[in-house]
Chain A
Amino acid sequence: EAGVTQSPRYAVLQEGQAVSFWCDPISGHDTLYWYQQPRDQGPQLLVYFRDEAVIDNSQLPSDRFSAVRPKGTNSTLKIQSAKQGDTATYLCASSLLGGFAEQFFGPGTRLTVL
């Protein structure tokens, strides 16, 4: 069974540019999470979905960040007008039936904002 896949694996952009990250969760997993992992820190939850509904997006850093999961499968995280402080790895995870189920992580997208 395929794991969580993410693309692109790397992104480098100038401040002010926009970027989108794409995540394909494990088939059948109804819950999807986006995390931000700054260098030398643990992942920090940004937003999570149950099917297509946002359950909690209160940790999104600002209105420059948005996330969607329109059909309850794949998801996109977008940063508009990126800042240097957004430099981090962005991880997607999915789980089956939410709750206390194990979260399975993708390899992440490493973003550098110059």
Chain B
Amino acid sequence: SQWGEENLQALSIQEGEDVTMNCSYKTYTTVVHWYRQDSGRGPALIILIRSNEREKRSGRLRATLDTSSQSSSLSITAAQCEDTAVYFCATRTNAYKVIFGKGTHLHVLP
């Protein structure tokens, strides 16, 4: 595996709390994707951050990228129950090949 600290893990938080998920990668990449996967569905891209960006925001989502430490994070502000899903970070080793980490199960409790 090319993944470091990001093993499959589960996080449970209360609605309204903020949460941050981290991942590290071993292979050079020019972009880090963050996907969410709802139960019974395929992954969907939610935010993409390129190697020349340190931070990217989309609504309540914030992604960071540190190329020197080869790590990325995804933060969700004021989590809602509908944010419950599995979140993956992924890198691209070439124009076509997306390499996924193992994911984080996030449970947002009402």
Q: Which A residues contact B (CB, under 8 angstroms)?
A: 4, 31, 33, 40-45, 48, 55-56, 91, 93, 98-100, 102-103, 105-108
Contacts and interface: CB of A to CB of B under 8 A. Distances in A.
Interface in B57-110: 88, 90, 92, 95-103
Interface residues of B, number: 21
Nearest to B41: A107
18 contacts: A33-B96, A40-B8, A40-B103, A41-B8, A42-B102, A43-B43, A43-B88, A44-B100, A45-B97, A45-B98, A45-B99, A91-B42, A98-B96, A102-B45, A103-B45, A105-B41, A107-B40, A107-B42
Contacts of B96: 31, 33, 48, 55-56, 98-99
Interface of B: 8, 31, 40-45, 48, 88, 90, 92, 95-103
Contacts of B41: 105, 107-108
Nearest to B8: A40
B92 A41 contact: no
B8 A103 contact: no
A102 B47 CA distance: 11
Contact of A106 (B31, B42, B92): B42
A33 B96 CA distance: 9
